[in-house]
């Protein structure tokens, strides 16, 4: 995208863990801005890249249609604890102002929101936060980009685990991502009809987990979803349960496969609606405010509203 005078300068970055749907949002936004008076800048490697000045004008080197379908983030992402330092943030703000960037769009989870809030308040720059995390735990939205795709990936993996477990009459512990959120684990448990599961919100100690499984000891196969970081070792947990249940118990950590995969229809669809609302804010709002975009549960098609923080 060639820089044009008298156009609004907008920058976009992705931060924290990558999430399916990030590229979809970027692709849809590029499509919208093709007919708007906007110069779009891409920031590489999140807030780290912003601080280091890795900011480039968008050059149409890639098919937008491909970008909408592509997993991950073309902008790359990173975690940058140094951003807690005000002097580091000051450099990031200077890099935006040197390029006359009046709006910053950020995609990520809770950490991204907190960093965005500081940029807005300290730099007096309009910031628009897009909920994008497989953990689906941003406080300002009922849904975050990537959650549906991640659940589909998990579901497909657990289907495979189930059938091998059935061949051996085993209980299978399946560890999901989520950090401090049990959303992925809970949705998996509900969709598979799992009788026993453990999350940060509904934590079962090894002893309580054993007690619950004793109630279902007659079952030949069980999938036991748990959220990551709850236990020191899921292998040791499986060994403990096997010894006390007197039956085979195995453990599988799904790991980073959960972040991959082509964005689902729903994540592409929601990313389009989010991009439209973000574009409207940029063209209609000139104040240096912090905006969060909310996807509501009640109506997946019309339930996107803008909230001011």
Q: Catalytic residues, which ones? A: 135
CA distance linking residue 86 with residue 72, whole number of Å: 29
80: closest CA among 48, 45, 124? 48
Q: Which residues contact 281 (CB under 8 A, 6 or more apart)?
A: 126, 128, 291, 306
Query: What is the layout of strands, in order, in the sheet containing 126-131?
Result: 55-57, 38-43, 8-14, 103-108, 126-131, 290-295, 304-308
Report the relative pairing of strands 103-108 and 8-14 from DSSP bridges: parallel
47: closest CA among 130, 133, 106, 135? 106
């Amino acid at each position: 995208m060639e820089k044009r005078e008298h156009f609004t300068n907008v920058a976009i970055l992705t931060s924290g863990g990558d999430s399916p749907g990030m590229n979809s949002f970027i692709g849809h936004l590029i499509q919208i801005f093709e007919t708007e008076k906007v110069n779009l800048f891409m920031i590489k490697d999140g807030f780290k890249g912003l601080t280091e000045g890795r900011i480039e004008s968008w050059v149409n080197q890639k098919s937008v249609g491909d970008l909408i379908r592509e997993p991950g983030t073309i902008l790359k992402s990173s975690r940058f604890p140094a951003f807690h330092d005000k002097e580091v943030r000051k450099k990031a703000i200077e890099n935006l102002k040197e390029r006359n960037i009046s709006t910053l769009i950020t995609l990520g989870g809770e950490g991204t929101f907190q960093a965005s809030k500081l940029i807005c308040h300290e730099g007096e720059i309009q910031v628009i936060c897009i909920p994008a995390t497989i953990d689906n735990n941003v406080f300002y939205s009922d849904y975050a980009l990537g959650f549906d795709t991640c659940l589909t990936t998990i579901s497909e993996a657990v289907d495979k685990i189930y059938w091998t477990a059935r061949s051996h009459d085993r209980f299978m512990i399946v560890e999901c991502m989520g950090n401090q959120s049990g959303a992925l684990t809970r949705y998996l448990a509900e969709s598979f009809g799992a009788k026993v599961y453990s999350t940060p919100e509904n934590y079962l100690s090894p002893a309580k987990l054993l007690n619950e499984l004793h109630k279902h000891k007659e079952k030949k196969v069980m999938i036991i979803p748990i959220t990551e970081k709850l236990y020191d070792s899921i292998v040791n947990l499986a060994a403990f349960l096997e010894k006390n249940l007197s039956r085979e118990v195995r453990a599988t950590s799904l790991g980073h496969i959960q972040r991959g995969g082509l964005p689902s229809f729903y994540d592409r669809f929601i990313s389009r609606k989010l991009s439209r609302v973000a574009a409207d804010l940029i063209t209609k709002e000139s104040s240096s405010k912090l905006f969060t975009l909310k996807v509501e549960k009640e109506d997946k098609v019309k339930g996107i509203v803008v909230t001011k923080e």
